[in-house]
Every structure is written in C-alpha cells, then in structure tokens.
Amino acid sequence: MGEKALSMGHRHVLWLCALIVVMLMGNHGSQAQISRASFPKGFTFGTASSAFQYEGAVKEDGRGATVWDTFSHEFGKILDRSNADVAVDQYHLYKEDVQLMKDMGMDAYRFSIAWSRIFPNGSGEINQAGVDHYNNLINALLAQGIEPYVTLFHWDLPQALEDSYKGWLDPQIIKDFANYAETCFQKFGDRVKHWITFNEPHTLAIQGYDVGLQAPGRCSVLLHLFCRAGNSATEPYIFAHNMLLSHATVADIYRNKYKGKQGGQLGVAFDVIWFEPGSNSTDDIEAAQRAQDFQLGWFLEPLLFGTYPSSMVSRVGDRLPKFSASESALLKNSLDFIGINHYTTFYAYKNSTNIIGDLFNDALADSGAITLPFKGFTAIGDRANSIWLYIVPTGMRSLMNYIRTKYGNPPVIITENGMDDPNNALTQIKDALKDEKRIKYHNDYLTNLLAAIKEDGCNVKGYFVWSLLDNWEWAAGYTSRFGLYFVDYKDKLKRYPKDSVQWFKKFLSSVS
C-alpha cells in the first residue's frame, strides 16, 4: 500500500514538474522569442498606406478627381456615409507621421502616389505641385533612414479617364498608365528603389467590376439592381487583362530605360486569402486549388509564365481575353518580386449546386468553388472587426510554402498584414489603445512567417504592417481601425500610440 502510494506520489510530482516547465516555456513563449534579430540580416520591416485612405486634401494643389471621390460621395456606397475628403490628412501631416515611423524603428514605408496629383486628368500636362509633394515626402523619409516603397496605382483612377473611355476597360489605359509610371520613374526613381505597379488587382476585379461594391461600381448582378452599368461575366476579365498588359509595358520601360541607372525593382501587391479544403475529399481539395487559381493565379501566372491558369482557360472560355505571342513574351518574368497582402484564411468547398452561377453569371462563380470562413457553424478562427477577417496565423506559413513550391521560390515581400478593431464611439481612447489582440495577431503571423523562412526555406524579404494609422477603410469608411496609431477623428486627427507600437518598438530594437 505504502509502495503504491509512493509510486503514485512520485508520478504526481513528476507530472507537476513537467507542467511547471511547460508553463514557464509558455510564459517565455513565442512573443518573447521572436524579434528583428530572429529574421535574416537585411530583412525589411515597414508599415503601409495608400494615398486615398491617408492624404485627404482632395481639392488642393491641382489634384484631379478620382473614381473613389465620385463613388464615396454617392448615397449608400459607404457604410457610415463618410468620405475621404480629409482622411487622416497625411498630405499636411506627413512630417509628423514620418517621425512616428522613425520612433518605432521601422525600416521602410509603403505609400501610393495619387495618379491625379501628377496628372489631374490622367494624362496631359504634369502638375508640378503634386510632384513637389511626393519629392518632399520621399526626402523626409530618406532623411530619417526610412526606405520608400512606392505603389503607382492603389485603386484611385483619375475620373477623367473613366469618363473618357471607361478607364481600365479600354486598351488606351495601357498607354496612359505607362506615361504616368514613366513620369514617376523620371521624377522619383533616383531615390525610390522599390516600385509596386498595382495594389490588389484581384480585389478591384471582383469588387469594382463583378459585384460593384467598390469604385467604379460596375456590375450586372440581378439586372443592375446594385449598379447602373457593367457586365459581371466579362468586365472583370477585361479589366484584369488590361491591367496585366499595363504592368508588363511599364516593366519593359523600366528595365530598358531606368533600371540600369536607378537600380530599382518592380513588383505587384496581390491580395491572397489562403484556402484550406473544407474536407479531405478530392472535390474540396480541387476546389481549393481552383479558388487559388482564380485569385492569385489569375494575376501572377501571366506575369511569370505569360499565360492564364489552365483552370481559368477551360472554365471561362471565350469570356477570357487571349494574349498574343508578343504580349505573352512581354508579360513573362516581368516581376522582380511578388508582393503579398495576406490577412486571413477561408475554407474552400466544391460548388455542387451552381446556384450562384445560375443567379449571377459572374467571375466569382466561374471557379466552381465556394469559399467561407466556416465549417458548418464553426468559425475557422477568432474574428477581427471586419466580417471577412478571421485570425488564422498558420495560413501565412501555408501560403508562403505554396508560393515556394508552385512558383519556384521567387522573392516575396509581405506588403500588407494586419487586423482591425471596431471604431466604437463609446470606447474611451485610453481603452482603445490597449490592443492586445493586435499584438498577438502580429506576433503569431510573424512567428509563422519566420518558420516559413528559417525552417522551410521560403524566400521572403520583408514585412509591412497594415497600417501605420487608423484610416478611411474604403466601403467601411471610418468604422474600422487597422492602425498601430489611434487617430482621434473628433480632435484634429491627433495620433496616439496603441500598445502595439510599444511592442513593435521593442521587437525592432532587438538586434542580437
């Protein structure tokens, strides 16, 4: 009896010791373990923004109107009926914001140039005041040791081009975008070494030309119940085709005329949800692959291989435009790096009913996959504020390995990653600054990114947080707060550091 009691007691003590060790390891945990020093030497950390969401000053210094100015002033288009006429006023407050980045220890800042500040009508005479503004911003960044990463097009098409020939739906856009891009290379390329021609072309194809929930708000869903004009079955593909050819044309110009002297790189920032098959069935596994073909493959494969994914060619048929032999050659290998905007993971299921296709006849239905953040009634992860943003850190590692294995391990930059809190008028600022959920989000996604780099050999070169500041979040208006810094919209747009700022400051200050 005594011997048995001793044996049980001994095991109990060992179990307690093991538990204490596990708890201590957990407390030391991944948050304490990862830092800048964990990542390869030269890995870039930065924050990201876009002109329309940040600048404001929409009628100052010769800036022309954009499709988003028009769209955001239409009734019922923006959730809180706001607009971005002022946004967070970075046009005037950029020096203060550059200092915030410097204080945090960030290496780089990704921002976009507003096409209509350089060419108010999309083409024609250059607006020198716009050139001056971006020169001032770039110089302010460099003076603080912060590298500019410049996006040429972040959705804010000059309204004049939409009015003149329906913008991205006409091949004329290729010439006008190339002229705008080359002007930027001429004016800023001596200091800008990382160019992103387009931000999230897939989002714009679907939201802007398929379902009409973003500018220019075109669709044919339910006989134009939601949009005045458009064709959801064809226009997303026409838009994408012209955008791809625009990138290839600009890449050719840069490589032939500017790269040798300026030494920069060109990429595209793709929006990529990671898709997990909803089950182990062959149908769902194939559906997940098709969903990825119709998301990332749609835009990436032409820029790597000169052709659309075979699943798109077979399923879309004659509605998918074709590249000529010369266009295919121009497109092929026209990327120096791949930008990835990654936030969340969904399940993918085979669309067995085709109800969506029968009702809407659109690009979303063409993949034959249904993507949802649920399996039955169970969510794939904890949700942020946005209805689409579920927190699944392992998706980052899975996505990086997918790109590594499918596309030959090209250079990748995470051009956006982040999560939002609600903008609750009843929440006091001191409470809104306590963003432990955001800290955990970045810690866990960075931990998975680090594993993809160190353990799996993924070729990832940088990571940009969306976003430096709370900002105007497209159709969600001001209802969503993605920032590391809280912006007080009620008091002169004052910036307050959230707890995540202190976390990043500590993360970035660790060099050994």
- What is the Cα–Cα distance from 255 to 261, expressed in whole angstroms? 10
286 in active site: no
DSSP track, 96-130: HHHHHHHHHT--EEEEE--HHHHSTTSSSS--HHH
> Before 216, cis peptide (omega within 30)?
yes
Alpha-carbon distance 422 to 425, whole Å?
Answer: 9
**Could you tell me if 197 and 181 are in contact, meaning their C-beta atoms sit under 8 angstroms apart?**
yes
Q: Are 508 and 45 in contact (CB under 8 A)?
A: yes
Q: How many CB atoms lie within 10 A of CB 283?
A: 16
Q: How far apart are CA 145 and CA 281, in angstroms?
A: 51
Locus of tokens 């049980």: 8
Rounded to an integer, what distance in angstroms lies between the CA atom of residue 508 and that of residue 230?
Answer: 47
**Using CA atoms, how far apart are residues 151 and 337, in angstroms rounded to an integer?**
13
Instruction: List Cβ neighbours of 188 (8 Å cut-off, separation of 6 or more).
Output: 134, 135, 138, 150
Amino acid identity of residue 480, one-letter, is S
Distance separating alpha carbons of residues 236 and 241, to the nearest angstrom: 9
Q: Which two tokens stand for residue 341?
A: 């905007």
Residue 205: name the closest of 220, 197, 215 by CA. 215
Q: Which candidate in 162, 200, 235, 301 is catalytic?
A: 200
Beta bridge partners of 348: 277, 371
Q: Catalytic: which of 276, 327, 416, 473?
A: 416
Classified as helix, coil or strand, 2 is helix
Instruction: Give the SS3 label for residue 147.
Output: strand
Angle (CA) 412-417-422 rounded to 5° is 170
Whether residue 416 lies in the annotated active site: yes
User: 435 CB contacts (<8 Å, ≥6 apart)?
Assistant: 421, 498, 499, 500
Please name the amino acid found at residue 497: P
> Which amino acid, one-letter code, is at 218?
R
Spatial contact of 362 and 233, defined as CB atoms under 8 Å apart: yes
Catalytic site residues? 200, 416
